[in-house]
Structure 1
Amino acid sequence: MKPVCVLGNGQLGRMLRQAGEPLGIAVYPVGLDAEPEAVPYQHAVITAEIERWPETPLTQVLANHRSFVNRDIFPLLADRLTQKQLLDKLNLATSPWQSLNAATEWPVIFSRLGSLAIVKRRVGGYDGRGQWRVKPGDEQHLPDEIYGECIVEQGIYFSGEVSLVGARNHQGECVFYPLTHNLHEEGILRASVALPKPDTHLQQQAEKMLSAILNELKYVGVMAMECFVVGDNLLINELAPRVHNSGHWTQNGASVSQFELHLRAILDLPMPRPDVATPSVMVNLIGSRVNPQWLSLPLVHLHWYDKEVREGRKVGHLNLNHPDRMVLRQTLSQLKPMMDEVYWSGIDWALNKLS
């Protein structure tokens, strides 16, 4: 099988490499500053763990590589303006939005979008960074340099957040995981819960939406679609053209993980729908050190990224799954006192989702 080079050597590239090993697929996550002659890219399939990157000698070479999968799609989806324009073109539901070009636009914006607006940088903002919640009067405190660099969305009052992780291969076949329920706090994903039998209406709606996007773009590989649940319908929040944080539970909760599924898709290997037989929970580890006590619980799978621990930084995650929800809830209750207090709300939320 062809080797795979991953542009970016963070945790997603690391987990793609780990997924390739049992299949005999050599996966090389490479830093953006690597020297081209040190990277075995000539006969490899190229993928990426990031949506945007600076121009370096390596990225200049890879930009012209004929086997760089989705190369021209990354810049389209990395910019929230062109991403929203794509969703509008496909008549897919999102929160009302517009470009933010000048401070003089605010009276019209509040009149059109209401009294809560969410300002987002077109590129670069993630995990709550580069975003502002704005009510009338707050706009005067925004930095001047954001104008022309942001979009603004209507603040949505939603009952939940979900994501759909799916993949498309070169032949246009698409497969999906069950919807994942997500809890964000301060813009950062704290916990996810996936159930083997999701809400049928929402699952079908989400699959129809993401299929339309994948097919329009002729995208190959794994993509994640984050949505708000509003009543009985979904509004698309954002797209991620890569393996995604909210799909990490698939490492232990599905017959094929999102990382293996991505490799299968880009290498044109068989891509059956992954079997999901048990409820799963993922707890993001953010700015915390490893606690060996977690491993005393037999359902806990620790995935550590071997990164320097810093406040607000994703350094690992815990996966838990079991066919009996009560056993899973019992383990979460045992895990809770082993975690810092900042994790308790996420664990309580997961316990509620499993009840």
Structure 2
Amino acid sequence: MGARIGVLGGGQLGRMLALAGYPLGLEFRFLDPAAEASAGQVAELWVGDYEDGPLLERFGEGLDRVTLEFENVPLTALERLASRLPVYPPSRALAVAQDRLSEKAFFQRLGIPTPLFYPVERYADLLEGLERIGCPALLKTRRLGYDGKGQFLLREPAQAQEAWARLGGVPLILEAFVPFKRELSILGVRSARGEVAFYPLVENQHRGGILRKSLAPAPGAGALQPQAEALARRIMEALGYVGLLAVELFEVEGGLWANEMAPRVHNSGHWTIEGAETSQFENHLRAVLGWPLGSTAPRGHTAMLNLVGLRPDFSRVLGVPGAHLHWYGKVVRPGRKVGHITLRSDSPATLAERLEWLESLLAAVVPPTE
């Protein structure tokens, strides 16, 4: 019998962790507040509150490691489990990533450039921040926002009252809008033995705050790879990090700026399942177990398309050469990630041609209404 891994969070990322771990002889136990969490379709699922102390005690029994697939787990839950068994990534990585202000300040302490930002606790802070930063600017909740939630784009100062009415009442951060060339991400993995590996930079395209498409390796980004690896390595070493870390980046004139980090396997790394020698999911598991890391070399050129609020005709998707479908077993709802498709080719031109074909197929799907 192999090692038994406990995972906090039972969404699609956890589901894919389990699917990557079974060939390695691993067993899994998930904890999630939702009884319908998709990881429960492939592994043992415990349903309960992350802050239920007695439940956490029982959850940890018989486990060899604990990891997570969702970064908004209460730090107290990780610390309680870490007092009994190894928990990766460490709680201090979550403490930084869970608060956008702490995260930006952490990046700056490491000498990593970021957009201008200003903490907002009161309406007066918002007005002062707009004077310092200018417009356009993004007002964001410091905690819990994801996939474009908890954000307001101010195109002019006159929108301050509307933005405050929408988001005020919780700690906020005002960030300058960055005139970036494109959005990129670097995926790094660091093992419990200190071994480090990096995947090629990924180009990401968002719509409505949700990742829609990733291209890997990012076209024409080879010269930026050393800079991206250096900043990700700095973050991992400062945190004593173990596991897969994703750092979302802006490409700007003169280099890279950090936007945010995710201390877990990441949507922009889904392409690695078919598109790299070792997937991000397998390498995360290798890292937390202290096993040698697998090769992160790409297998040609890969695109990843998120299926957001729509279910395509599976047979038509699979009729596209090089296409691989991943369905998460979730109820289809508007704005919800329910699956993804990876498309791989040895030729960039062929990939682009087939990607256009696949995107036109998806564009014709009628999404469900609420």
Length-normalised TM-score, structure 1 = 0.90
1:330 maps to what in 2?
Answer: 353
Structure 1 outlier segments of 4+, above 6 Å: none
| 2:6 and 2:63 in contact (8 A); partners too | no
Could you report, residue by residue, the CA deviation over 1:230-258 in whole angstroms, capped at 9, with x for unpaired residues?
11311100100000000000000001000
Q: Within the alignment, does 1:300 sit opposite 2:319 as a pair?
A: no
Farther off after superposition, 231-240 or 328-337? 328-337
Name the counterpart of 1:101. Answer: 121
Q: Within 5 A, what are the aligned runs for 1:98-177?
A: 98-134=118-154, 135-144=156-165, 146-147=168-169, 149-177=171-199
> Are residue 62 (structure 1) and residue 81 (structure 2) matched?
yes
Query: Does the 8 A contact of 2:75 with 2:95 survive in 1?
Result: no
RMSD value, Cα: 2.2
CA distance in 2 between partners of 1:225 and 1:280 (Å): 19
The residue type paired with residue 186 of structure 2 is: L
Checking the alignment, whether the CA contact within 8 Å between 1:172 and 1:215 is kept in structure 2 is: no
Show the counterpart of 2:52.
Answer: none
> What code does the residue aligned with 1:49 have?
E
Are 1:261 and 2:283 counterparts?
Answer: yes
Which one of the candidate residues 48, 52, 63 is aligned to 2:68? 48
Deviation at 1:102, TM superposition (A): 1.6
Could you tell which deviates more after superposition, 46-55 or 33-42?
33-42
Gaps of 5+ in 1: 344-355
Paired residue for 2:241?
219
The more displaced of 304-313 and 104-113 is 104-113
Q: Distance in 2 between matches of 1:82 and 1:282?
A: 31
Q: Per-residue deviation at 1:66?
A: 3.0
Secondary structure of the residue that 2:244 maps to in structure 1? strand
- Checking the alignment, whether the CA contact within 8 Å between 2:75 and 2:91 is kept in structure 1 is no
Quote the residue 2:36 is aligned against: none
Q: Which residue of 1 aligns with 2:23?
A: 22
**CA distance in structure 2 between the aligned counterparts of 1:289 and 1:236, rounded to whole angstroms:** 34
| Partner Cα distance (2:138, 2:219) in 1 | 33
Number of matched pairs: 342
Deviation at 1:81, TM superposition (A): 1.5
1:291 shift after superposition: 1.2
Aligned letter for 1:24? G
Which residue of structure 2 lines up, in the alignment, with residue 339 of structure 1?
362
CA drift at 1:60: 8.1
Q: Secondary structure at the match of 1:318?
A: strand
Aligned counterparts of 2:198 and 2:220: Cα–Cα separation in 1: 12
Structure 1 position 181 matched with structure 2 position 200: no
Which region of structure 1 is more displaced relative to structure 2, 61-70 or 78-87? 61-70
Instruction: Give the counterpart of 1:238 among 260, 270, 274.
Output: 260
CA distance in 2, matches of 1:194, 1:128: 23
Q: Partner residue of 2:271? A: 249
* Partner amino acid, structure 1, of 2:110: L
**Matches of 1:65 and 1:285, distance apart in 2:** 39
Summarize the Cα distance change of 1:149–1:196 in structure 2 as closer, same or farther, 3 Å threshold: closer
What is the deviation of 1:36?
4.8
SS in 2 for 1:338: helix
Distance 1:308 1:90 in 2: 42
> 1:208/1:342 Cα in 2 relative to 1: closer, same or farther (>3 Å)?
farther
Equivalent position amino acid for 2:99 in 1? D
Which consecutive unaligned segments of at least 5 residues does structure 2 have? Answer: 34-46, 49-54
**Following TM superposition, by how much is the alpha carbon of 1:2 offset from its aligned partner in structure 2, in angstroms?**
2.0
